[in-house]
């Protein structure tokens, strides 16, 4: 058989930490920016005996929104379960999770069917301390709300799996329910991979805790290759849990796959099951923002952008909103100036200044209206593009309105013909030699004269206009 006869299949389990003020089952703060260990803890999330959990309503609403955004449906009834295992980052020795009756069912994203989304709590963080050789534990993250989205085995390449995760990340950010930053551990995935030469799915391996898009990509490809080679040799794939070894760039066996029974799942006795109709699902649906795909379609149609241009805005929702506010101002101020011009100043010049100075969008001083004013000034030829660069730099520093900069400092393109002609006349009188050379056919002398005039005018004239006036005057 050929390597290509083996078809890979992938299913993902994606975890994302939810943005809430407090933790999943207590009122300790959920603050991922807290640097001091074991500050945001209380008897409940530390698992002291006799304490009782309460459900974080906002976390439930977040997961309902994610499910709705992916065309899923709320389960009629949902409940929490205890998943029992022992590990030093898990103070209760069980995790409150959901097993039989998850919060959201079904849905789809990028043609990948979603099995369900459930809600659970995160574990603490273990920190290996090199100086003592010991391990420290920080419970700030213990019991932070965590959603888990489980897909059907519907993907067939590593590229598809990464594209799925990227789009999910973007949607979570649009919804404002998670920062979904993989670098900060706010989003992570387990990838289940099998290969098969028949229509039946093969035995899968689950690669746990992938914490970057790159490791998702590499781990899946490594598994596809490893399993295919084993099958080629007539060996059997073992269902097992594997890990990604970043240094050796390969997956390594961790343990044979645990069964649900190993976790002794049982209903969480301290939290009652509840009907999801106690939540106003329709109000949550109505609160959903425009999602990335809808934005893509609309941007291409409304502004005539190509796919690449569209993606730049869609992948940065703050930029997309900024752009739209600026466009609406531009339409009012200068309806004939193209939104493309505005787009260029936003994504090239302004973005460049932000990168150069390391300025975050939140601290950027130029309001969208002012960027629109600048585009209007350029588009209606009131300032040259060279002047625009200087003006933009000053707007960036002070937040000033370019219309005011231009008016108060008399910059901008002069449309005062009398003024320009007077300058040209003076330049001709002061540069006899150059005039003489030009009349003898030395065209470079014209550039010299134009340069002189431009500097007297402090750049406030259009070069083509100056050329025309010089030619006219020198011909007589
Ligand atoms: P478990 O409960 O043991 O984790 P599930 O049936 O819930 O198993 O599946 C977990 C994940 O594994 C899902 O994302 C699913 O799509 C994926 N999966 C299941 N079977 C296969 C398979 N044969 N090949 C690839 N992925 C699979
Ligand atoms: Mg699993």
pLDDT at 204: 96
* Bridge-based pairing state of the strands 240-245 and 205-210: parallel
Q: Residue with structure tokens 């990464």?
A: 162
Beta bridge partners of 210: 189
Give the per-residue pLDDT at 407.
83
- 411, 433, 434, 440 from 470: Cα distances, Å: 22, 15, 12, 15
**pLDDT of res. 46:** 97
For ligand 1, is residue 379 a contact (CB within 6 Å)? no
The span from the CA of 120 to the CA of 99, in Å, is 10
- Cα 305 to Cα 52, 171, 174, 343, 453: the distances in Å are 54, 21, 21, 9, 39
> Which residue's structure tokens are 């085995």?
153
148 DSSP β-pair partners: 15, 118
- Measured between alpha carbons, how far is 65 from 286 in angstroms, rounded to an integer? 10
Ranges of residues in the chain whose predicted pLDDT is under 70:
1-4, 257-260, 412, 415, 476
Rounded Cα distance, 118 and 290, in Å: 24
Look over the chain and give the mean of its residue pLDDT values, rounded to a whole number.
Answer: 94
Distance (Å) from CA 13 to ligand 1 centroid? 8
Ligand 1 atom nearest to CA at 201? 23
Instruction: Round to whole Å and give the CA distance between 343 and 276.
Output: 44
Report pLDDT for 258. 65
Question: How many CB atoms are closer than 10 A to CB 397?
Answer: 12
- Write down the CATH number for the domain with range 417-474: 1.10.10.410
Query: Which of 204, 206, 223, 259, when mutated, tests ligand 1's pocket best, judged by the most ligand atoms within 8 Å of its CB?
Result: 204
Confidence (pTM): 0.85
Domain residue ranges in the chain: 3-285, 290-408, 417-474
Other C-beta atoms closer than 10 Å to the C-beta of 86 total 7
What does the alpha-carbon distance between residue 27 and residue 40 come to, in Å, rounded to a whole number? 9
pLDDT 10s digits, 193-227: 999 999 999 999 999 999 999 999 999 999 999 99
Q: How far is the CA of 13 from the centre of ligand 2 (A)?
A: 7
Atom of ligand 1 nearest to the CA of 13: 14
What is the number of the ligand 1 atom nearest to the C-alpha of 259? Answer: 3
CB of 151 sitting under 6 A from ligand 1 = yes
- pLDDT, tens only, 383-394: 888 889 999 999
Indicate if ligand 1 lies below 6 Å from the C-beta of 97. no
pLDDT at 382: 87
CA of 349 to the centre of ligand 1 (A): 47
Among 211, 204, 254, which Cα is nearest to 226's?
204
9 lines ligand 1 (CB under 6 A): yes
How many other CB atoms are there within 10 angstroms of residue 176's CB atom? 12
């Amino acid at each position: 058989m050929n390597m290509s006869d083996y078809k890979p299949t992938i299913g993902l389990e994606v975890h994302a930490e939810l943005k809430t003020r407090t933790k999943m089952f207590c009122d300790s703060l959920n603050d991922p920016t807290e640097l001091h260990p074991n500050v945001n803890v209380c008897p409940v999330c530390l698992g002291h005996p006799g304490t009782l959990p309460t459900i974080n309503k906002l976390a439930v609403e977040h997961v309902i929104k994610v499910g709705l955004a992916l065309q899923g449906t709320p389960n009629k009834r949902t409940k929490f379960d205890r998943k029992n295992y022992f590990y030093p980052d898990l103070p209760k020795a069980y995790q409150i999770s959901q097993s039989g009756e998850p919060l959201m069912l079904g849905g789809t994203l990028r043609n990948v069917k979603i099995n369900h989304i459930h809600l659970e709590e995160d574990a603490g963080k273990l920190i290996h301390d090199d100086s003592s050789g010991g391990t420290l534990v920080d419970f700030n993250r213990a019991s932070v709300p965590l959603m888990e989205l489980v897909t059907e085995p519907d993907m067939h390449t590593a590229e598809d799996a990464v594209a799925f995760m990227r789009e999910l990340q973007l949607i979570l950010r649009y919804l404002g329910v998670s920062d979904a930053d993989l670098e900060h551990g706010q989003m992570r995935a387990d990838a289940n991979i099998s290969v098969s030469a028949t229509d039946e799915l093969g035995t899968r391996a689950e690669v746990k805790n992938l914490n970057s898009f790159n490791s998702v990509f590499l781990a899946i490809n490594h598994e596809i290759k490893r399993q295919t080679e084993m099958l080629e040799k007539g060996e059997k794939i073992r269902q097992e849990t594997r890990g990604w070894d970043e240094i050796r760039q390969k997956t390594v066996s961790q343990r044979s796959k645990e069964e649900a029974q190993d976790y002794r799942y049982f209903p969480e006795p301290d939290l009652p099951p509840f009907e999801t109709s106690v939540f106003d699902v329709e109000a949550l649906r109505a609160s959903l923002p425009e999602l990335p795909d809808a934005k893509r379609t609309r941007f291409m149609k409304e502004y005539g952008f190509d796919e690449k241009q569209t993606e730049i805005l869609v992948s940065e929702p703050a930029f997309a909103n900024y752009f739209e506010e600026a466009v609406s101002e531009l339409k009012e101020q200068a309806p004939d100036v193209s939104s493309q011009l505005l787009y260029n100043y936003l994504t090239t010049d302004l973005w460049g200044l932000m990168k150069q100075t390391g300025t975050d969008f939140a601290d950027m001083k130029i309001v969208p209206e002012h960027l629109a004013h600048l585009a209007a000034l350029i588009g209606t030829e009131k300032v040259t593009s060279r002047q625009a660069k200087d003006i933009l730099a000053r707007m960036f520093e002070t937040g000033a309105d370019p219309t005011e900069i231009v008016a108060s400092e008399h910059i901008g393109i002069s449309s005062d013909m009398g003024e320009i002609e007077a300058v040209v006349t003076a330049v001709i009188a002061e540069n006899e030699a150059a005039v003489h050379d030009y009349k003898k056919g030395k065209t470079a002398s014209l550039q010299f004269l134009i340069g002189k005039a431009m500097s007297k005018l402090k750049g406030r004239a259009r070069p083509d206009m100056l050329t025309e006036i010089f030619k006219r005057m020198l011909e007589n």
